Amino acid sequence: MGIPENSLRNWKRSLKGGPAPAGPGQPSALEAELLRLRAENERLRMEREILKKATAFFAKELR
């Protein structure tokens, strides 16, 4: 079939739920999780800033 043994081994491992080793140019599981958490953190910071501005805006209108 022309599929490298490493690819088959990684696919089998990922189907069983085990960690697949990172290939060249691919982040490890910990690095991928870190990137995901950093992106989520940035999104939450932006949401917080929007809510702070909205609160200030509506507080002005009530006065």
Q: What number is the average pLDDT over the span 38-53?
A: 96
DSSP 11: H
**Higher local confidence (pLDDT), 21 or 30:** 30
Residue type (1 letter), 53: K
26/36 Cα distance (integer angstroms): 14
* pLDDT tens figures, 3-19: 888 887 888 887 876 55
pLDDT at 7: 84
Buried b (16+ CB within 10 A) or exposed e, 16-55: eeeebeeeeeeeeeeeeeeeeeeeeeeeeeeeeeeeeeee
What does the domain layout of the chain look like in residue ranges? 28-63
57/4 Cα distance (integer angstroms): 60
When the pLDDT of each residue in the chain is averaged and rounded to a whole number, the result is 85
Answer yes or no: is pLDDT of 29 > 90: no
